[in-house]
Structures are given as structure tokens and as C-alpha cells.
């Protein structure tokens, strides 16, 4: 694969125009209703310090050349002041007939048109254009193709600033993870009561002290709680960490700024000596993680494009071969890309929940996080690393990589 130039998010419109020409597409139509689109706010960010609040439909048509056309309701026109968006040709509509007339004109202008659509909704993260609008534009004469590749290339690549920020965040998040385990170790050694929520509060406080931001509470989960992939500790239902507990930490944070990338990791610890079953499952999860990483790296070295579903298969098939299929509850990994969400808009490692056929691209990133969840055995194990596809070196791990259970 050839090296690419990593572009900052501010250049998303111009990047998309270049990609449209490269993919032989006439245009890319993004439609939104009350925030339904995941791509519009990334392609067309709100003004600095402002919150965009639209109550009617919005359309953005990007073509390979010329100004993109923004179609906004007269009610929402003030959300897109021309002085703030000089790169746009802003057109205003009032009635539904006017909206449809504009879409018809777009379809005639761009007979081969990308939309945020995925055949059979194979990629829900991309397929946010409603079926009715897709049907209308198609009936108006346009051939509709999925925007999945455009979105990944334009919106999921990391800028040089994002790479540096992710490296810093990764060091800080890794250190806070170590502090959290030490906090548990010290409390148990001293005979003090410590609860899952106490550790979660410590992690959130340390994020703030280190200049990191996150939207959600980290996961601090023991035993059967760890067997729930989305368990969240609560101050209202305090659960004590005790000797003999298997402990899962899942924490994620980034430097402030929409160009920055989350560091998102999961690590395991044992308050005592693990059982043979716990050790077996931990070793299998780590082996599955390593198999997915090896598949990505070997494909890069062979200059062969590898797709998200293949990287999921590499991990999941190993777990199945070891008799652990019943404990698999989620895909192997998710995209890491600029923006407010820890789950990004690029390729996911997924052939379980969806069939992610997108190719691993240079300049993008993702997590590898296989897990096994067995509530009847009070066991939940996940190991999560972050990977950046360096345009020269290929897939490299940017986070810590757990090899053994931490003892607390």
C-alpha cells in the first residue's frame, strides 16, 4: 500500500471532493433530520463555541468540483450563517415540495450519487440516510452507492496532531489504569473496604487532573459484573471488591478537541490466585487478540488489502476452536477516529454483529478487544489494545498490551 497524506478534519470537504473524482462518483448527498446524520457534523462542524440545533431537514450535496450546496429550512437558516460558511452555496426551502424539487435537481445533476446508505444495512454506522429519501432520490434517476469508503477515507484518518495527541493520551490512560489497580491492591492489603464505584470515581477524577476528557463512566467490574460487557458501576448500588475477585477495567479518554482520538483499553486483574479456568480463558482472549493483530500485520507486509470482517474472524475463530463460542457477545474491535464518539466512523473488526467489508486503510486506527463472558461461571474477560495503521510501518500498537493477569 502506498503512503497517504493525512488530512486534518477541517479539510474534510476538499478531501471528499478529491475522493469523489477518484471513485468516479458525481456527488455525495448527506441528509439529516434532527441530528440523525453522523457525518454531517463531522463534514460541516458547527462554529467554534456554538451548538448547532436544527429542527428541520438539512441536505448537503458535495460534488467533485465547485461549491458544495447546503439545503436548509428557512427555520434553520440561521444555523448556517454565510459569513461562517463561505465555502458553501446555501439554498433555503420552506415547503416539502421545494425540498423534493431540490433533491430531484441533485439527482439529475449527479446520476451516480453516494449517500449514507449500506446495502441490506450491513453497516448500520454508515446507513443513516432514511429509506424514504434513498427511494425518492433513486426514483428521481440517480444511481445510489454507499458512502462507506468515502466516510472512512475522509473522516477516519488521523492527522499528525491527532497521532501525537493519541500517543500522549495513551500514556496517561495507561498510567491511570496502573493507579487504579494499585488503589485496589493497597485497600485490600490494609483491610479497607473498596467498591467498584470508588475506583471508577478515581479514574474519572484523574482524567480531569491530567487534562483528559471522556463522556462516560469507566467500567470497573468484578466476577459476574465483568460478564456483562456494558456493566457500569453505580454509587447507588455499591459492590465491594474482595479477595478472590476477578476484576475488569475498561477506560477511555482523549485530549480535548474534535481532532483528537480516544485511548480505549481493557485490562484484567486478580485479587488472589486465579483458577485454572480463569487462566485458560484469559490466555485464550489474549491469543485471539494477538491473532487478529498478526492477521493485520501480515496482510500489510504482503501488500494485500484486509477487511474488517477478516480481522474479526481471525480472533473469533480461535476462540471457537477453543470451545468458547458460547461466551462471545460482541465483535472483535471498533474504529478509532476523530470526533466526539469513542466508537469511530471507520472500519470495525466485525463479522458477527455486522459484515464490515471495508478495507483497513493507512492512516486509520481501531481497537482489538475480544472478550469472553460467562455469567453462570461468574467470569468475564476482555483484553483491548489500540492500533494505528502507520502509512509506512503498517499496523502498530499504540497502547499497552497485557500479557499476564495483574495481581492486586
Residue 7 pLDDT more than 50? no
Among 266, 307, 289, 292, CA closest to 181 = 266
Q: Which residue do the cell numbers 453505580 mark?
A: 234
**What confidence category does residue 1 fall into, taking pLDDT thresholds of 50, 70 and 90?**
very low
Q: What is the pLDDT of residue 331?
A: 98
Q: What is the pLDDT of residue 30?
A: 97
Chain segment 201-245, per-residue pLDDT in tens:
999 999 999 999 998 899 999 999 999 998 999 988 889 999 999
Output the furthest CA–CA distance in the chain (Å, rounded): 74
Residue 48 pLDDT more than 70? no
What mean pLDDT comes out for the span 271-278? 97
- What's the mean per-residue pLDDT of the chain? 94
Residue 10 pLDDT more than 50? no
Q: What is the pLDDT of residue 49?
A: 61
Grid coordinates in use for 399?
497502547
**What confidence category does residue 114 fall into, taking pLDDT thresholds of 50, 70 and 90?**
very high
Three-class SS of 117-144: CCHHHCCCCCCCCCHHHHHHHHHCCCEE
Q: What is the pLDDT of residue 9?
A: 37
Q: What is the pLDDT of residue 3?
A: 33
Q: What is the pLDDT of residue 4?
A: 36
Chain segment 317-339, per-residue pLDDT in tens:
999 999 999 999 999 999 999 98
Cβ atoms of 62 and 13 within 8 Å: the answer is yes
Residue 256 pLDDT more than 80? yes
What mean pLDDT comes out for the span 129-144? 97
Chain segment 365-405, per-residue pLDDT in tens:
999 999 999 999 999 999 999 999 999 999 999 999 999 99
The domains found in the chain, sorted by start residue, are 9-155 (3.40.350.10), 160-407 (3.90.230.10)
The CB density around residue 18, as the number of other CB atoms within 10 Å, is 14
Predicted TM-score of the model (pTM): 0.91
Amino acid at each position: 500500500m502506498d503512503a497517504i497524506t493525512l488530512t486534518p478534519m477541517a479539510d474534510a470537504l476538499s478531501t471528499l471532493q478529491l475522493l469523489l473524482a477518484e471513485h468516479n462518483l458525481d456527488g455525495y448527498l448527506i441528509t439529516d433530520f434532527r441530528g440523525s446524520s453522523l457525518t454531517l457534523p463531522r463534514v460541516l462542524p458547527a462554529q467554534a463555541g456554538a451548538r448547532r440545533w436544527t429542527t428541520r431537514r438539512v441536505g448537503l450535496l458535495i460534488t467533485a468540483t465547485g461549491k458544495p450546496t447546503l439545503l436548509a429550512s428557512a427555520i434553520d437558516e440561521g444555523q448556517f450563517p454565510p459569513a461562517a460558511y463561505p465555502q458553501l452555496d446555501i439554498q433555503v426551502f420552506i415547503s416539502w415540495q421545494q425540498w423534493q424539487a431540490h433533491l430531484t435537481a441533485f439527482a439529475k445533476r449527479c446520476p451516480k450519487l453516494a449517500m449514507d446508505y449500506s446495502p441490506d444495512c450491513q453497516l448500520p454506522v454508515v446507513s443513516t440516510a432514511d429509506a424514504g429519501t434513498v427511494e425518492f432520490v433513486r426514483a428521481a434517476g440517480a444511481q445510489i452507492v454507499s458512502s462507506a469508503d468515502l466516510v472512512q477515507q475522509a473522516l477516519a484518518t488521523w492527522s499528525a496532531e491527532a497521532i501525537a495527541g493519541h500517543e500522549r493520551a495513551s500514556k496517561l490512560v495507561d498510567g491511570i489504569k496502573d493507579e487504579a489497580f494499585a488503589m485496589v491492591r493497597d485497600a485490600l492489603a490494609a483491610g479497607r473496604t473498596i467498591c467498584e464505584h470508588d475506583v471508577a470515581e478515581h479514574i474519572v477524577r484523574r482524567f480531569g487532573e491530567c487534562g483528559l476528557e471522556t463522556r462516560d463512566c469507566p467500567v470497573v467490574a468484578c466476577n459476574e459484573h465483568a460478564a456483562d460487557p456494558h456493566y457500569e458501576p453505580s454509587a447507588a448500588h455499591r459492590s465491594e471488591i474482595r479477595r478472590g475477585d476477578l476484576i475488569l477495567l475498561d477506560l477511555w479518554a482523549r485530549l480535548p478537541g474534535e481532532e483528537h482520538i480516544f485511548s480505549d483499553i481493557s485490562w484484567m486483574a486478580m485479587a488472589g490466585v486465579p483458577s485454572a479456568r480463569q487462566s485458560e480463558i484469559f490466555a485464550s482472549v489474549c491469543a485471539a487478540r494477538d491473532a487478529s493483530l498478526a492477521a493485520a500485520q501480515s496482510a500489510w507486509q504482503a501488500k494485500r488489502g484486509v477487511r474488517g470482517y477478516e480481522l474479526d474472524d481471525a480472533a473469533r475463530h480461535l476462540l471457537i476452536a477453543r470451545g468458547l463460542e458460547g461466551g462471545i457477545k460482541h465483535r472483535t474491535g471498533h474504529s478509532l477516529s476523530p470526533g466526539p464518539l469513542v466508537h469511530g466512523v471507520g472500519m470495525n473488526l466485525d463479522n458477527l454483529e455486522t459484515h464490515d467489508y471495508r478495507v483497513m486503510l493507512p492512516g486509520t486506527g481501531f481497537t482489538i478487544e475480544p472478550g469472553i463472558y460467562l455469567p453462570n461461571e461468574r467470569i468475564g474477560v476482555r483484553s483491548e489494545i489500540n492500533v494505528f495503521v502507520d502509512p509506512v510501518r503498517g499496523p502498530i500498537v499504540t497502547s499497552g498490551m497485557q500479557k499476564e493477569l495483574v495481581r492486586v
